[in-house]
């Protein structure tokens, strides 16, 4: 019974935080599917990553807030603002996730597990040999609550995203990856430093203070990428 009571308290506290969260309210107002859009927005505005005409690959895309933000960046002003942008699209967005993804106009979606070779092959086929300008990854595994196991799962997804980026990024391209502070974090920073000329950890304001998540950004491949 104590476990149930504690669980109810946690759920109630989370619900209160969620409903009073200014970014949740802003996302609802501006038509984004999740508050996560503002994490990418701050990273983009800080580093100037996204520009019309680019090819962007969105890993762990569901429910679609990051793809919505990229789509809005690629749309002319008259196409609408926020997550509601429609119509003309100057650029290409390929989104991938294991979960269902409600269609977004102009966004190509691949459903499947990024860890599977067949799904990766679909993604590579969609890229069609073109150099990718930006890889964005909000991927996170289902957590077990066992720190050593969870950190290994998180690291594996980040490693796969970095591997894809090193094979497909433009030589001056960028990658944004969600990671978590804790066991294995320093190794992931080193992985980024091994492959990218500039590495920046960013904790956006929209990322809750109590969350251990942060984002690693890699800018420019050390080894020559695609031109």
Q: Binding site for S-adenosyl-L-methionine: residue ranges?
A: 64, 66, 97, 113, 138
Decide if 216 contacts 199 (C-beta within 8 A): yes
> Which residue do the tokens 């957590």 mark?
143
Catalytic residue at 178? Answer: yes
| Preceding peptide of 88 cis, ω within 30° | no
Is 103 in a helix, a strand, or coil? coil
Which DSSP category does 226 fall into? B
The neighbouring-strand residues paired with 177 are 137, 216
192 backbone dihedrals φ, ψ, rounded to 5°: -65, -45
Cα separation, 216 vs 177, in Å, equals 5
Cα separation, 119 vs 129, in Å, equals 16
Catalytic entry in 178, 200, 210, 222:
178
Q: Listing from the earlier edge strand, what are the strands of the sheet with 55-59?
A: 107-111, 92-97, 55-59, 132-137, 169-180, 213-221, 196-202
Cα separation, 22 vs 131, in Å, equals 37
Decide if 143 contacts 157 (C-beta within 8 A): no
- Which residues are part of the catalytic machinery? 178
């Amino acid at each position: 019974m104590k476990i149930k009571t504690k669980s109810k308290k946690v759920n109630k506290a989370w619900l209160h935080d969620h409903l009073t969260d200014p970014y949740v309210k802003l996302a609802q107002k501006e038509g984004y599917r999740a508050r996560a859009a503002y994490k990418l927005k701050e990273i983009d505005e800080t580093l100037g990553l996204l520009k019309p005409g680019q090819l962007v690959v969105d890993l762990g895309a569901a429910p679609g807030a990051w793809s919505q933000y990229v789509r809005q960046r690629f749309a002319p002003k008259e196409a609408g603002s926020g997550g509601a942008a429609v119509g003309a699209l100057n650029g290409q967005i390929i989104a991938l996730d294991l979960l269902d993804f409600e269609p977004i106009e102009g966004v190509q979606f691949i459903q499947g597990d990024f860890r599977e070779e067949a799904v990766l092959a679909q993604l590579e086929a969609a890229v069609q040999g073109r150099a990718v300008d930006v890889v964005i990854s909000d991927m996170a595994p289902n957590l077990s609550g066992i720190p050593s196991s969870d950190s290994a799962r998180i690291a594996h997804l980040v490693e796969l995203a970095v591997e894809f980026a090193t094979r497909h990024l433009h030589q001056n391209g960028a990658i944004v990856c969600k990671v978590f502070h804790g066991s294995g974090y320093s190794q992931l920073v080193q992985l980024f430093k091994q492959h990218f000329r500039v590495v920046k950890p960013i904790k956006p304001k929209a990322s809750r203070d109590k969350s251990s998540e942060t984002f690693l950004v890699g800018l420019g491949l050390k080894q020559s990428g695609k031109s």
